[in-house]
Amino acid sequence: MSELSVKHLLGIKYLKESDIQLIFETADHFKEVINRSIKKVPSLRDITIANIFFENSTRTKLSFELAEKRLSADVLNFSASQSSVKKGETLIDTVNNILSMKVDMVVMRHPNPGAGIFLSKHVEASIVNAGDGAHEHPTQALLDSYSIREKLGDVAGKNVVIVGDILHSRVALSNIFALKLQGANVKVCGPKTLLPKYIDSLGVGVETNLRKALEWCDVANMLRIQNERLDISYFPTTREYTQQFGVNKKLLDSLDKEVVIMHPGPINRGVEITSDVADSKQSIILNQVENGVAIRMAVIYLLASKIK
Ligand code: CP
C-alpha cells in the first residue's frame, strides 16, 4: 500500500493497521533526513498548512511546525487566545476565513471531543487532529508506538501498561486503539475513579496494583493527571496518588527486569514519575519527542499526497 486509506487524520479509530505501517515506513525515511546536515526536503513546496490551537501546547505545536518546515510547506500559526474567536467568531467561520487564503491542510487542537470530525464535514481542507479534548491524540499514539518499535524491535506481542488518569486522557484512548491494532497486549492501571466505565469494551486488562502491572509489562506509559479536566476530586490527595501510582527508582530497581518508561509530557515531576526515573536510561521520553517530528512529517506528507 502506498497511500493512506483516509483523507484526514481524525483519530486512530479510523485507521487500518496498514496505514500505521505506511506511516512508520515513511517516518523511517524522514528520521534519516532530519539527522542529515541538510534537514529539509522540498516535498511540500506547493502546500500551505494552518496550525490552529484552541488549547495550550508545547510539544505538539512545535513538532508540527518543525515537521511542516522540514517538508518546505508554507506555515500559518493561529492561536485562539490572540484571535477574533475572542470576539465571538464561530469555529467554522474562523476556519473558512483561514481556508479562503488558499490553505490546504488544517492541524487543529481543540478542547471539545469530536471538533476535528465536525470540521472535516464542513470544510474542504484535510484535517489533522492534534488533540480533541479527552477524545483522541492520534499523532501522539503514533509516535509512542513508533518509539516502542524503535526500542524493542516490534510492537506486536509486547505488554504495555498505561498508568494514571485514563478517564480524561486522549493519549490513553489513542494509544489503546493503536497498540491493539498492532497486536500488543494492553493493560491500564490507575485509581478506579480514573478508569472509564466503558474500559472493558476497549479489550484491555485492568490492574489497580502498580507493582503487579510493572511486573507484567515490557513498557509503562505514565500519564499526567489532567488537572485542567478534573471537575471533582477523584483521589484523596496528590501525595496518596503518588504513593500508589507514581513510579520511582526504588520500585523499578526492585523488579527483576528493565521496564521501558514512557511519558507523553508535560511531566509532573514527583507526582506520576520521579526525576531520577524520567531522566534515567530506562526512560525514552525525549526519544518520543524526537520521533514526533518524523511521525508528523510522515502524516503530513502522506495526507498532502492525497490533495488533488
Ligand atoms: N504530549 C503533548 O500533547 O504535549 P503538549 O500538550 O505540550 O503538546
**Residue 195 in grid coordinates:** 478508569
Query: With 80 as the cut, is the pLDDT of residue 230 above it?
Result: no
Query: With 80 as the cut, is the pLDDT of residue 227 above it?
Result: no
Query: With 70 as the cut, is the pLDDT of residue 308 above it?
Result: no
Comparison of pLDDT for 145 and 307, the residue scoring more: 145
Q: Note the pLDDT of residue 231.
A: 72
User: CB 20: neighbour CB atoms within 10 A?
Assistant: 22
Q: Note the pLDDT of residue 264.
A: 97
Model confidence pLDDT, tens digit, residues 46-56: 999 999 999 99
Q: How far apart are CA 268 and CA 146, in angstroms?
A: 24
How far away, in angstroms, is 131 Cα from ligand 1 center? 9
Residue nearest to atom 6 of ligand 1 (CA): 57
256 — pLDDT class (breaks 50, 70, 90): very high
Q: What is the pTM of this model?
A: 0.95
CB 193 within 8 A of CB 164: no
Say which CATH topology domain 138-284 has: Rossmann fold (3.40.50)
85 — pLDDT class (breaks 50, 70, 90): confident
| Mean pLDDT value of segment 245-254 | 97
Residue nearest to atom 3 of ligand 1 (CA): 60
How far away, in angstroms, is 144 Cα from ligand 1 center? 13
How far away, in angstroms, is 229 Cα from ligand 1 center? 15
Q: Note the pLDDT of residue 84.
A: 83
Residue nearest to atom 5 of ligand 1 (CA): 57
How far away, in angstroms, is 171 Cα from ligand 1 center? 10
| Mean pLDDT value of segment 295-301 | 98
Compute CA distances 201 → 118, 144, 205, 206, whole Å.
25, 22, 10, 12
Model confidence pLDDT, tens digit, residues 22-61: 999 999 999 999 999 999 999 999 999 999 999 999 999 9
How far away, in angstroms, is 267 Cα from ligand 1 center? 10
Cis peptide before 266 (omega within 30 of 0): yes
CB 14 within 8 A of CB 137: no
Domain with CATH 3.40.50.1370 in the chain: 12-136+289-304, 138-284
For ligand 1, pick from 51, 54, 56, 60 the residue to mutate: most ligand atoms within 8 Å of CB. 60
Ligand 1, atom nearest to 61 Cα: 8
Model confidence pLDDT, tens digit, residues 135-168: 999 999 999 999 999 999 999 999 999 999 999 9
How far away, in angstroms, is 130 Cα from ligand 1 center? 9
Residue nearest to atom 4 of ligand 1 (CA): 59
Q: Note the pLDDT of residue 305.
A: 96
Query: With 90 as the cut, is the pLDDT of residue 188 above it?
Result: yes
Instruction: Count how many residues are written for the chain.
Output: 308
| Mean pLDDT value of segment 280-290 | 98
Homologous superfamily of the 12-136+289-304 domain (CATH): Aspartate/ornithine carbamoyltransferase (3.40.50.1370)
| Mean pLDDT value of segment 66-89 | 91
CB 167 within 8 A of CB 196: yes
Q: Note the pLDDT of residue 232.
A: 67
Q: Note the pLDDT of residue 81.
A: 82
- % of the chain beyond a pLDDT of 70: 98
Q: How far apart are CA 205 and CA 192, in angstroms?
A: 13
Q: Note the pLDDT of residue 1.
A: 61
DSSP string, 58-127: SHHHHHHHHHHHHTT-EEEEEEGGGSGGGGT--HHHHHHHHHTTT--EEEEEESSTTHHHHHHTT-SSEE
Ligand 1 pocket list (CB less than 6 A): 57-60, 131, 137, 140, 264-266
